[in-house]
Amino acid sequence: MELGLIRHGSTAWNKEGRAQGSSDIPLDEEGLKGAKLLAERLQEGDWKIIYSSDLTRARQTAEIIANKLQIKLVLDERLRETNGGLIEGTTEAERIARWGMNWREQDLGIESSASVKARTQSFVKELAVTPVQNTLIVSHGALLNATMSELIPKAMYDQSLKNSSLTSLKLVNSIWECSLYNCTEHLM
Protein backbone atom coordinates (compact mmCIF):
# COMPACT_ATOMS: atom_id res chain seq x y z
CA MET A 1 0.00 0.00 0.00
CA GLU A 2 1.16 3.50 -0.78
CA LEU A 3 -0.12 6.82 0.56
CA GLY A 4 0.45 9.99 -1.41
CA LEU A 5 0.18 13.01 0.88
CA ILE A 6 -0.48 16.23 -1.00
CA ARG A 7 -0.53 19.77 0.32
CA HIS A 8 -3.10 21.90 -1.50
CA GLY A 9 -2.03 24.35 -4.19
CA SER A 10 -1.13 27.96 -3.43
CA THR A 11 -3.57 30.70 -2.47
CA ALA A 12 -3.36 34.47 -2.28
CA TRP A 13 -3.18 34.17 1.51
CA ASN A 14 -0.16 31.84 1.23
CA LYS A 15 1.67 34.53 -0.70
CA GLU A 16 0.62 37.24 1.77
CA GLY A 17 1.73 35.14 4.76
CA ARG A 18 -1.79 35.08 6.24
CA ALA A 19 -2.89 32.33 8.60
CA GLN A 20 -5.55 30.36 6.72
CA GLY A 21 -6.63 27.76 9.24
CA SER A 22 -10.22 26.73 8.59
CA SER A 23 -10.99 29.83 6.51
CA ASP A 24 -12.32 28.75 3.14
CA ILE A 25 -9.84 30.26 0.69
CA PRO A 26 -9.73 29.28 -3.02
CA LEU A 27 -6.64 28.45 -5.03
CA ASP A 28 -5.02 31.25 -6.97
CA GLU A 29 -3.91 30.85 -10.60
CA GLU A 30 -0.54 29.41 -9.54
CA GLY A 31 -2.34 26.96 -7.27
CA LEU A 32 -4.61 25.77 -10.08
CA LYS A 33 -1.58 25.33 -12.36
CA GLY A 34 0.34 23.46 -9.64
CA ALA A 35 -2.57 21.07 -9.09
CA LYS A 36 -2.73 20.35 -12.84
CA LEU A 37 1.01 19.68 -13.02
CA LEU A 38 0.82 17.39 -10.00
CA ALA A 39 -2.14 15.53 -11.55
CA GLU A 40 -0.03 14.89 -14.66
CA ARG A 41 2.79 13.54 -12.52
CA LEU A 42 0.44 11.27 -10.57
CA GLN A 43 -0.66 9.54 -13.78
CA GLU A 44 2.54 7.49 -13.46
CA GLY A 45 1.20 5.81 -10.30
CA ASP A 46 -1.56 3.30 -9.65
CA TRP A 47 -3.82 5.45 -7.45
CA LYS A 48 -7.27 4.11 -6.60
CA ILE A 49 -8.96 6.76 -4.43
CA ILE A 50 -8.42 10.30 -3.19
CA TYR A 51 -9.50 11.71 0.19
CA SER A 52 -9.54 15.45 0.71
CA SER A 53 -10.30 18.17 3.20
CA ASP A 54 -13.58 19.81 2.26
CA LEU A 55 -12.06 23.31 2.40
CA THR A 56 -12.06 24.91 -1.06
CA ARG A 57 -8.28 25.10 -1.57
CA ALA A 58 -7.83 21.37 -0.86
CA ARG A 59 -11.06 20.33 -2.60
CA GLN A 60 -10.09 22.21 -5.79
CA THR A 61 -6.67 20.53 -5.76
CA ALA A 62 -8.26 17.11 -5.23
CA GLU A 63 -10.92 17.61 -7.91
CA ILE A 64 -8.28 18.44 -10.53
CA ILE A 65 -6.33 15.31 -9.60
CA ALA A 66 -9.40 13.03 -9.34
CA ASN A 67 -10.69 14.18 -12.74
CA LYS A 68 -7.32 13.64 -14.41
CA LEU A 69 -6.83 10.18 -12.86
CA GLN A 70 -10.50 9.21 -13.09
CA ILE A 71 -10.63 8.07 -9.45
CA LYS A 72 -13.20 8.48 -6.70
CA LEU A 73 -12.97 11.58 -4.51
CA VAL A 74 -14.14 11.48 -0.88
CA LEU A 75 -14.36 14.75 1.11
CA ASP A 76 -13.68 14.45 4.84
CA GLU A 77 -13.92 17.29 7.40
CA ARG A 78 -11.35 15.55 9.62
CA LEU A 79 -8.71 16.51 7.04
CA ARG A 80 -9.30 20.25 7.57
CA GLU A 81 -6.46 22.49 8.67
CA THR A 82 -6.07 23.45 12.33
CA ASN A 83 -8.68 26.05 13.22
CA GLY A 84 -6.75 29.27 13.76
CA GLY A 85 -9.36 31.07 15.83
CA LEU A 86 -8.76 34.81 15.99
CA ILE A 87 -5.48 34.70 14.06
CA GLU A 88 -7.07 33.54 10.80
CA GLY A 89 -6.58 36.08 8.05
CA THR A 90 -3.73 37.85 9.84
CA THR A 91 -0.02 38.11 9.11
CA GLU A 92 2.67 37.68 11.76
CA ALA A 93 3.15 41.47 11.88
CA GLU A 94 -0.59 42.01 12.40
CA ARG A 95 -0.67 39.42 15.20
CA ILE A 96 2.22 41.14 16.98
CA ALA A 97 0.54 44.54 16.55
CA ARG A 98 -2.77 43.24 18.00
CA TRP A 99 -1.66 40.85 20.71
CA GLY A 100 2.05 41.51 21.27
CA MET A 101 5.13 39.36 20.81
CA ASN A 102 3.71 36.60 23.04
CA TRP A 103 0.52 36.13 21.00
CA ARG A 104 1.23 32.36 20.82
CA GLU A 105 0.86 32.13 24.60
CA GLN A 106 -2.61 33.72 24.64
CA ASP A 107 -6.00 32.08 24.31
CA LEU A 108 -6.97 33.21 20.81
CA GLY A 109 -9.31 30.29 20.08
CA ILE A 110 -6.74 28.23 18.18
CA GLU A 111 -7.61 24.53 17.96
CA SER A 112 -5.51 22.46 20.32
CA SER A 113 -2.87 20.00 19.17
CA ALA A 114 -4.85 17.30 21.02
CA SER A 115 -7.94 18.04 18.93
CA VAL A 116 -5.95 17.92 15.68
CA LYS A 117 -4.31 14.67 16.78
CA ALA A 118 -7.70 13.13 17.63
CA ARG A 119 -9.07 14.00 14.17
CA THR A 120 -5.95 12.61 12.52
CA GLN A 121 -6.03 9.42 14.56
CA SER A 122 -9.70 8.90 13.75
CA PHE A 123 -9.03 9.24 10.02
CA VAL A 124 -5.93 7.01 10.07
CA LYS A 125 -7.73 4.29 12.07
CA GLU A 126 -10.61 4.30 9.60
CA LEU A 127 -8.19 4.21 6.67
CA ALA A 128 -6.39 1.24 8.23
CA VAL A 129 -9.52 -0.95 8.09
CA THR A 130 -10.34 -0.15 4.45
CA PRO A 131 -9.22 -2.57 1.75
CA VAL A 132 -5.55 -2.11 0.88
CA GLN A 133 -5.18 0.27 -2.04
CA ASN A 134 -2.93 3.10 -3.14
CA THR A 135 -4.51 6.22 -1.69
CA LEU A 136 -4.02 9.96 -2.16
CA ILE A 137 -4.76 12.43 0.64
CA VAL A 138 -5.08 16.15 -0.10
CA SER A 139 -4.94 18.32 2.97
CA HIS A 140 -3.06 21.11 4.70
CA GLY A 141 0.45 21.49 6.11
CA ALA A 142 -0.26 21.00 9.82
CA LEU A 143 -2.71 18.17 9.22
CA LEU A 144 -0.34 16.30 6.92
CA ASN A 145 2.47 16.69 9.45
CA ALA A 146 0.17 15.26 12.13
CA THR A 147 -0.71 12.35 9.82
CA MET A 148 2.97 11.61 9.21
CA SER A 149 3.66 11.78 12.95
CA GLU A 150 0.85 9.30 13.52
CA LEU A 151 2.13 6.84 10.91
CA ILE A 152 5.89 7.31 11.46
CA PRO A 153 6.17 8.43 15.12
CA LYS A 154 9.98 8.50 15.32
CA ALA A 155 10.54 10.44 12.10
CA MET A 156 11.54 14.09 12.29
CA TYR A 157 10.43 16.35 9.46
CA ASP A 158 11.26 19.97 10.15
CA GLN A 159 10.70 21.39 6.68
CA SER A 160 7.35 23.07 5.99
CA LEU A 161 5.41 21.27 3.28
CA LYS A 162 5.29 23.29 0.07
CA ASN A 163 2.12 24.00 -1.86
CA SER A 164 1.30 21.26 -4.41
CA SER A 165 3.98 19.03 -2.86
CA LEU A 166 3.91 15.23 -2.87
CA THR A 167 5.07 13.04 0.01
CA SER A 168 4.93 9.29 -0.45
CA LEU A 169 4.62 6.74 2.35
CA LYS A 170 4.84 3.01 1.69
CA LEU A 171 3.69 0.20 3.96
CA VAL A 172 6.51 -2.34 4.16
CA ASN A 173 6.10 -5.34 6.49
CA SER A 174 3.43 -3.46 8.49
CA ILE A 175 5.74 -0.43 8.96
CA TRP A 176 5.28 2.91 7.21
CA GLU A 177 8.35 4.31 5.47
CA CYS A 178 8.73 7.68 3.76
CA SER A 179 10.06 7.16 0.23
CA LEU A 180 9.55 10.75 -1.01
CA TYR A 181 9.26 13.93 1.06
CA ASN A 182 7.91 17.36 0.12
CA CYS A 183 8.69 16.91 -3.57
CA THR A 184 7.76 19.66 -6.02
CA GLU A 185 9.89 18.67 -9.03
CA HIS A 186 6.69 18.57 -11.14
CA LEU A 187 6.41 22.34 -10.71
CA MET A 188 9.78 23.03 -12.37
Active site residues: 8, 81
The reply, when asked if residue 8 is annotated as ligand binding, is yes
- Of 124, 121, 123, 102, give the one whose Cα is nearest residue 113: 121
Residue 83, marked binder: no
* 184 assigned binding-site residue: no
Q: Report the C-alpha gap between 67 and 181 in whole angstroms.
A: 24
10 is in an annotated binding site: yes
Q: Is 21 annotated as a binding residue?
A: no
11 marked as part of a ligand binding site: yes
Contact residues for 23 (Cβ-Cβ < 8 A; gap 6+): 13, 84, 88, 89
Please tell me whether 12 is known to bind a ligand. Answer: yes
Query: Annotated binding residue at 141?
Result: no
Cβ proximity of 119 and 137 under 8 Å = no
> Which residues lie closer than 8 Å to 29 by C-beta, 6 or more apart?
none
Q: How far apart are CA 112 and CA 109, in angstroms?
A: 9
Feature table: binding site: 7-14, 57
Feature table: binding site for substrate: 7-14, 57
